[in-house]
Amino acid sequence: MGRQVIQAVDVHAAGEPGRVLIGSAMKIKGATMADRLRYCVEHLDAFRTLVLQEPRGYPGLCAPIVVPPTEFDSDFGMIVMEQGGFRPMSGSNLICAVTAMIETGSVDVVEPVTHLRVDTAAGTVAVRAEVVDGRAVSVEFDNVPAFALALDHPLEVPGYGTVPVDVVFGGQFYVQTRCENLGLELRPRNAKDIIRAASAMTRAAQLSIPVSHPVIPDLGLISLPMIHGPAQTEGTHGRNAVVLPNGEVDLADPRTWTGTLDRSPCGTGTSARVAAKVARGELDVGDEFVHESMLGTTFTATVKERTTVGGLDAVVPSIRGRGWITGFHQLILESDDPFPVGYTIGDIWGRGVGLSEAVERPEGEGAQHDRPGDFPEGEIGIPLDSTARAHDALDASTTIPPFKEFS
């Protein structure tokens, strides 16, 4: 097998990077999106690490895979790759995918508003994108129903004592708590302390709080934590920090309590936050909730309607944000590349995050990894078809503003 090529469009949504894989021939098997998610988990983890890990990726990177729709009236489907695994739904990744699909002309575009339907393993979401001169300047989607399983559940977290947490579904299951419950202030300079606490809280919840989606049995894992606090910017209603795992967490070893901050306000996390606030009587249908990230970027949530899911009270939240294309890429895998599934190393990665975690070897002994033959070309779609349009080079007169440091 010679050179293999993966076509990608890099986008960020409110700061959170998403490497969108579009126009592919990837034959992800399954009649439903839940089937396809399960297939990815069981067969394509090496592809996930190839795209997300070094030397092609970095700890903060996610990647939505665009696939054909499973519903007759939908435009495309999406499966999300995160450092912690394959995920059923992600708001920031959906915004990245919609932005890429519109701005590359991969879907029919109507100005001023393009309406789309996107299938995910958590359900189908309706999307409204405001388009100006071919660019998606705003993306709003009606998320899958969000609901609270538990409010103020007492959770024992090593090093932090008994912490009252909410267990809420917003497209993924979240464990959420107020920052004061962990003795934290949500500022970028406190990132390491926030990550440490959130990672420990997530693992403690996974070990002690069973969850199950009432109508989608495959969704039965607390995937992510959210630590939320008061608004810090005029015009917003709250700030949050979601921590994406970048390694295996061992509660007996605080050195493993690592992760990466979500740069965006987090779409599914905001949906879960809204569901908890509705359950407490703090929001109602028609209310807006402007959620701020650690960068100061925002998503605006609206409580669209009340509903039920398997007998549980739920809400349909609408989330509005924006994405920006940052690059068009051809990721290359050569047949003799010593890292065909990527690698991690302990300076910026957590323990056990990847298939090819770097280890010390005797002098003169090279790295030993599975070869690219483990990727059946027709099965996972390498090489991928190219659909990205040629884009004009940057104007030579373009100026770059000063670097901004967040503290």
Confidence (pLDDT) at 26: 64
Confidence (pLDDT) at 352: 56
The pLDDT > 90 percentage for the chain reads: 80
pTM for the model: 0.88
Task: Say if residues 176 and 168 touch (Cβ distance below 8 Å).
Answer: yes
Q: Is pLDDT of 303 > 60?
A: yes
| Gyration radius from the chain CA atoms | 21
Task: Say if residues 148 and 279 touch (Cβ distance below 8 Å).
Answer: yes
- Residue keyed to tokens 């994405």: 323
DSSP letter (8 states) at residue 337: -
Per-residue model confidence as pLDDT tens digits over 8-31: 999 999 999 999 998 654 678 999
- Please tell me the distance from the alpha carbon of residue 385 to that of residue 26, in angstroms, as a whole number: 9
Confidence (pLDDT) at 24: 58
Confidence (pLDDT) at 287: 98
Q: Is pLDDT of 383 > 80?
A: no
Q: Is pLDDT of 47 > 70?
A: yes
CATH 3.20.20.220 fits 147-320, yes or no: no
- Please tell me the distance from the alpha carbon of residue 323 to that of residue 275, in angstroms, as a whole number: 24
List b or e across 252-277, with b for residues whose CB sees 16 or more CB atoms inside 10 angstroms. eeeebbbbbbbbbbbbbbbbbbbbbb
Q: List all residues 6 or more positions away from 401 whose beta carbon is below 8 Å from its beta carbon.
A: none
Mapped onto helix, strand or coil, the DSSP state of residue 259 is coil
Domain ranges in the chain are 147-320
Q: Is pLDDT of 310 > 70?
A: yes
Per-residue model confidence as pLDDT tens digits over 190-203: 999 999 999 999 99
List b or e across 349-383, with b for residues whose CB sees 16 or more CB atoms inside 10 angstroms. bbbebbbbbeeeeeeeeeeebeebeebeeeebbbb
The secondary structure of 184-218, three-state, reads CCCCHHHHHHHHHHHHHHHHHHHHHCCCCCCCCCC
Confidence (pLDDT) at 1: 61
Per-residue model confidence as pLDDT tens digits over 123-141: 999 999 999 999 999 999 9
State which amino acid sits at residue 368.
Q
Q: List all residues 6 or more positions away from 75 whose beta carbon is below 8 Å from its beta carbon.
A: 69, 101, 107, 116, 117, 118
CA atoms 265, 267, 271, 272: torsion sign? negative
Q: Is pLDDT of 210 > 80?
A: yes
Confidence (pLDDT) at 175: 98
Mapped onto helix, strand or coil, the DSSP state of residue 147 is strand
Per-residue model confidence as pLDDT tens digits over 78-99: 999 999 999 999 999 999 999 9
Q: Is pLDDT of 115 > 50?
A: yes
Mapped onto helix, strand or coil, the DSSP state of residue 128 is strand
Confidence (pLDDT) at 393: 25
Burial grade of 400 (CB within 10 A; 0-12, 13-18, 19 or more):
exposed
Q: What is the mean pLDDT of the chain?
A: 87
Confidence (pLDDT) at 27: 73
Peptide bond into 112 cis (omega under 30): yes
Rounded-to-5 percentages of helix, strand, coil across the chain? 20, 35, 45
Edge-to-edge strand list for the sheet holding 16-20: 16-20, 4-13, 323-333
Q: Is pLDDT of 307 > 50?
A: yes
Q: Is pLDDT of 377 > 50?
A: no
Q: Give me the DSSP letters along 1-62.
A: ---EEEEEEEEEETTEEEEEB-S-------SSHHHHHHHHHHH-HHHHHHHHSBTT--TT-B
Catalytic residues: 90
State which amino acid sits at residue 405.
E
Confidence (pLDDT) at 331: 93
Cα-Cα end-to-end distance for the chain: 47
| Backbone phi and psi for residue 165, each to the nearest 5 degrees, phi listed first | -125, 155
Confidence (pLDDT) at 396: 32
- Please tell me the distance from the alpha carbon of residue 53 to that of residue 76, in angstroms, as a whole number: 26
- Residue keyed to tokens 């630590």: 227
DSSP letter (8 states) at residue 355: T
Q: Is pLDDT of 71 > 80?
A: yes
Task: Say if residues 25 and 376 touch (Cβ distance below 8 Å).
Answer: no
Q: Which of 262, 405, 280 is nearest to 321 (CA)?
A: 262
The torsion defined by the Cα of 264, 8, 126 and 67, in degrees rounded to 10, comes to -130
Per-residue model confidence as pLDDT tens digits over 136-169: 999 999 999 999 999 999 999 999 999 999 999 9
Confidence (pLDDT) at 2: 81
- Please tell me the distance from the alpha carbon of residue 228 to that of residue 1, in angstroms, as a whole number: 49
Q: How confident is the model at residue 321 (pLDDT cuts 50, 70, 90)?
A: very high
